[in-house]
Amino acid sequence: MVVVTGQNKVSGNPDDAMSSSDAEDDFQEPATPTATQAGQALPLLPQQFPEVVPLNVGGMHFTTRLSTLRRYEDTMLAAMFSGRHYIPTDADGRYFIDRDGTYFGDILNFLRSGDLPPRERVRPVYKEAQYYSIGPLLDHLEDIQPLKGEKVRQAFLGLMPYYKDHLERIIEIAKLRAMQRKARFAKLKVCVFKEEMPITPYECPHFNSLRFERSESETKLFEHH
């Protein structure tokens, strides 16, 4: 039997005794855990937020109510300030969001009272709304120019078969013509025709009361190649 005292003295049968190094290896006290190890071992408690939240968004400071950030449950801001995720703070105790804060004020104004940005800021605010996953704001912005015009244009182009393929071919022809003429620009005339009925959804309201009937001779006029 081996007895270890506070002075690391060993007593007992000499044949059964271990060396001092062996005793130290077998009976070494566990090291005191560091703060990092303790944080990894213990589950983090839900983060508590004040009713009035100071924010630092990419170096720009904002202050808003916690209920404003949680206005819509399925947004990134609501998830960030739900208490389930840890948000770091800066030296002044402001909660830090690593994002350009130039248009964050427009995001807050919509969350507060539903205000929409002026037309010249629609595009960048739309991009920020995509990042923060604010669906209601995205829906409103898509009905404002210039996004509305782009939305209609993309829907119209979606009705045109092989539009992208034809566009690439047109660009190739224009490049070749410019090289042949040693010019900086090349002009092409493009003819777009439509034979199939009914008219596209954007034209239907204008023709819903008309009937289109063609004779065999008239139909041949629309056989384009």
Mean pLDDT over 112-132 rounds to 95
* Angle formed by the axes of helices 122-131 and 147-158, nearest 10°: 70
Tens-digit pLDDT profile for residues 140-190: 999 998 898 888 888 877 777 777 788 888 888 888 888 888 888 888 887
Query: b/e for 99-123, b at 16 or more Cβ within 10 A?
Result: eebebbebbbebbeeeebbeeeebe
Topology of domain 52-150 in CATH is: Potassium Channel Kv1.1; Chain A (3.30.710)
**What is the helix (H) or strand (E) element at residue 110, kind and residue range?**
helix 104-113
Give the pairing of strands 52-57 and 3-4: unpaired
Query: Token match 């829907």: residue?
Result: 155
Q: Where are the domains of the chain?
A: 52-150, 160-194
Tens-digit pLDDT profile for residues 74-104: 999 999 999 999 999 999 999 999 999 999 9
Task: Evaluate if residue 42 carries a pLDDT over 50.
Answer: no
Size of the chain in residues: 225
Task: Evaluate if residue 46 carries a pLDDT over 80.
Answer: no
Average pLDDT value over all residues in the chain = 77
Tens-digit pLDDT profile for residues 192-204: 666 555 555 555 5
pTM across the whole model: 0.55
* Banded pLDDT at 210 (limits 50, 70, 90): very low
Mean pLDDT over 115-138 rounds to 96
- pLDDT score for 27: 46
Q: Residues 6 or more apart from 108 whose CB is under 8 A from it? A: 62, 64, 68
